[in-house]
Amino acid sequence: MKLARIIKCYLHFHPQHCKFSTTTSSVRTLKRETFLEKISAGPSFQKFLNVKSKMPMASSKVNDEFIPYLPANSYKGHGRKVYFEIYGCQMNTNDAEVVWSILQANDYDRCQDIQEADVIMMITCAIRDGAEIKIWNRLQHLKALKHKRSTKRGPLQISLLGCMAERLKQHVLEKEKSVDVVAGPDSYKDLPRLLALTRHYEYSAVNVLLSLDETYADIMPVRLNKESPTAFISIMRGCDNMCSYCIVPFTRGRERSRPLESIIKEVKMLDSQGIREVTLLGQNVNSYRDISKETSMESTTVPGFNTVYKPKINGLPFSVLLQQVAEAVPNMRIRFTSPHPKDFSEDVLRVMRDYPNICKNIHLPAQSGNNAVLKRMRRGYTREAYLKLVNVIRRYLPGVGLSSDFICGFCEETEAEFGDTVTLIEKVKYNMAFLFSYSMREKTSAYRNYKDDVPHFTKIERLQRMVKAFRDGATELHKEYEGTRELILVEGKSKRSNDHVFGRNEANIKVIIPMKNILINQSSIQQSEQINVGDFVAVRITDTNSQVLKGEPLYKTTIQDFYNT
């Protein structure tokens, strides 16, 4: 089609192939002759056919002159070694396992030493400016590593994946020439082809197309850390909330959920591999809806909360998924993150209450404690509605472990508005919190409508005050654990002592215990074994602070036995 238009244009305007009607106007004739002279001095028709693209190629083209053909067997890695660097959230860890599953199926190997790598996969985060600065700095080091590479070993390919790749797209290639492949969160299945193109034709490749239906449900992730007794399962992708400060809807796309059966299958597979705890993942995990089922269920949005989108009434909701997962693997712990407060229906809370293997731990991101700031953030609730939900949760789940996210220094935030955030932290008291100063992101509603007008030093000072308020409340909460019996899953050795191991209790608080021989159970037969990674251990808490609990191990057990005694 483009070639036909060029030919038509050429035949119409080039003096060797076109005829103009005679006119009596000498002025018009003179202008036409001048125009013909300019056209004659311009590029020929052949010049149009020989033009070469200087831009980085798109995912479907190499250049205008040469379209390469790669047979399917050219996508194979032929044993090339892949090294992973993962930044950001737990979803990126799961994405890396999806990527590794795809590459492993295409004959790539994995290495633990970056010096041995043929391909470096960087799974990136774009939630804050600081996360991206870290990536840019790291690329400088990798660029030097690439230049030192011996030609005998073949090219070292650097791939930038995930949210930062989606946000910046071809700007990454323009700023950093050492990057070979840029792939967004929905284009990981295309990686073998993109890597093959860049390896065979020495072009940079980009695929950042977002999908309305890609969930990778047909990909069984391959775990990167096989020593850990815990694992992540992505049950949905994307976010529809459109909070004004958040870049996620623009880097991860619209919400879409995996079919329930594929999730149950993956959970059972992990159970057979000895995994003792799984975390269900999603950008807005509790808005999960399996629309592959022809069923109609009313919206589960909590009263007092609202959304920017219409209520979702089709498909199976999160409460059904949570119940079926808990029943499928009764001896495995179940967690989930990251939820939105609006989707904590009483149905979800009842399921959490009734199944002992679902951890009584809820992440309840507040972001701010002031109504005016919450409105500017487009969070869809007020301080009062949030506090009411906290009360409902604690009524269903006494002793629940709560965590939250807070942002200070959002656009136009006054000292009085920030004060409401501090008082909310003090009033609720959280076992864990993720506290940040605001970082403006392009494309967001805040970027278009507000000014990032809170000075940097003010943000830092407010952040320190938030940290103090959180730690004071956490210290008070954790003090209540002293003398209690807690069930922990042992995850590994303590960083500070080889004689101690750590695990997490139901509330997701780190617990440190000495590694020694203990009873296998509470029976009269006094058998004992050494504590190992993957063991469930009953622990008596002896000491606490705002960050960790310390305890004395009592005996090994199971989830069911622990809660039945």
pLDDT, greater one: 75 or 335 = 335
Q: Taking 50 as the threshold, does the pLDDT of residue 234 lie above it? A: yes
The CA distance from 377 to 368, in Å, is 9
The rounded percent of the chain whose pLDDT value lies above 70 is: 86
Which tokens hold the place of 316? 């199976």
Per-residue pLDDT, 554: 94
531 touches 520 (CB < 8 A): no
Task: Give the confidence band of 252 by pLDDT, cuts at 50, 70, 90.
Answer: very high
pLDDT tens digits along 81-120: 999 999 999 999 999 999 999 999 999 999 999 999 999 9
Which tokens hold the place of 39? 């056209």
Range with the poorest average pLDDT among 15-19, 103-107, 204-208, 542-546: 15-19
Alpha helices in 205-310 (DSSP H): 248-252, 260-272
Q: How far is CA 464 from the centre of its chain?
A: 26
3-state secondary structure of 218: coil
pLDDT tens digits along 432-456: 999 999 999 999 999 999 999 999 9
Beta bridge partners of 363: 403
**Left, alpha or beta for 34 (phi > 0: left; psi -120 to 50: alpha)?**
alpha
- Residue 242, class by beta-carbon neighbours within 10 Å (0-12 exposed, 13-18 middle, 19+ buried)? middle
Q: Which residue type is seen at 372?
A: A
Range with the poorest average pLDDT among 10-19, 115-124, 242-251, 488-497: 10-19
Task: Give the confidence band of 296 by pLDDT, cuts at 50, 70, 90.
Answer: low
Which tokens hold the place of 134? 């870290």
In this structure, what is the dihedral angle of CA atoms 352, 353, 354, 357, given to the nearest 10 degrees? 60
Q: Taking 60 as the threshold, does the pLDDT of residue 43 lie above it? A: no
157-162/119-124 β-pairing = parallel
What is the rounded average pLDDT for all residues in the chain? 87
Task: Give the confidence band of 14 by pLDDT, cuts at 50, 70, 90.
Answer: very low
Which tokens hold the place of 346? 């009483």
Q: At what angle do helices 415-428 and 383-396 cross, to 10 degrees?
A: 10
Per-residue buried b or exposed e for 527-555, using 16+ beta carbons within 10 Å of the residue's own CB:
eeeebeebbbbbbebeebebebbbbebbb
* Mean pLDDT for the stretch of residues 474-489: 97
Q: What are the percentages of helix, strand and coil residues in the chain, rounded to 5?
A: 40, 20, 40
* Mean pLDDT for the stretch of residues 267-273: 96
* Mean pLDDT for the stretch of residues 290-304: 77
Which tokens hold the place of 504? 């997490």
Whole-number Cα distances in Å, 466 to 48, 426, 436, 463, 546: 62, 9, 9, 5, 14
* Mean pLDDT for the stretch of residues 419-435: 98
Q: Which residue type is seen at 63?
A: N
Per-residue pLDDT, 517: 82
Residue 305 DSSP symbol = -
* Mean pLDDT for the stretch of residues 58-75: 56
pLDDT tens digits along 318-359: 999 999 999 999 999 999 999 999 999 999 999 999 999 999
Range with the poorest average pLDDT among 314-318, 390-394, 401-405: 314-318
Per-residue pLDDT, 494: 92
Per-residue pLDDT, 61: 40
Reported for 258-263, long-range contacts at CB under 8 A and 24+ positions apart, including other chains, are: 258/215, 258/216, 258/217, 258/234, 258/290, 259/217, 259/290, 259/292, 260/290, 260/292, 260/293, 260/316, 260/320, 260/321, 260/324, 262/217, 262/218, 263/233, 263/235, 263/321, 263/325
Q: What is the pTM of this model?
A: 0.85
* Mean pLDDT for the stretch of residues 8-12: 42
Per-residue pLDDT, 170: 83
Range with the poorest average pLDDT among 170-179, 347-356, 362-371: 170-179
229 touches 491 (CB < 8 A): yes
The CA distance from 338 to 344, in Å, is 12
Reported for 15-23, long-range contacts at CB under 8 A and 24+ positions apart, including other chains, are: 15/39, 15/40
Q: Taking 60 as the threshold, does the pLDDT of residue 27 lie above it? A: no
The CA distance from 303 to 306, in Å, is 8
Alpha helices in 120-176 (DSSP H): 129-147, 163-168, 171-175
Per-residue pLDDT, 69: 63
